[in-house]
Amino acid sequence: MSGMRVQAKVANGETEVKILMNHPMETGGRKDQKTNEVIPAHFITEVTCEHNGKVVLNSDWSGGISKNPYLSFKFKGGAAEESVKVTWKDNKGETETQEAKIKA
């Protein structure tokens, strides 16, 4: 299941971060069509982004977000060649972290 793509680009004093997360995002409300068993809930509960050790985004999620979610946001500051670090955590205790250099 692993895999996350992070891109960051700075322009006019703002850094735009784009994240594509590979995750099933199961709500716990669907049934497997073959077995008719309920598919257990498995979804991201928190996404955090840091720049220079400072949290610039902290987002709490639930099961209502689609499979392989995409997130884009901007923050003031950042410079080319600095990095951003994105971490997600899910309801099963799994986590993933990815860093990316900011481009101009």
- Plot region of 102 (φ>0 → left; ψ -120 to 50 → alpha; else → beta): beta
Quick one: pLDDT at residue 47? 98
Cα angle vertex 43, ends 40, 45, to 5°?
135
Quick one: pLDDT at residue 62? 92
Paired tokens of 87: 């971490």
CATH fold of 4-103 reads: Immunoglobulin-like (2.60.40)
Paired tokens of 46: 């928190």
Q: Which residues contact 53 (CB under 8 A, 6 or more apart)?
A: none
pLDDT in tens, 17-50: 999 999 999 999 999 999 999 999 999 999 999 9
Instruction: Provide the pLDDT confidence category of residue 63 given band limits of 50, 70 and 90.
Output: confident
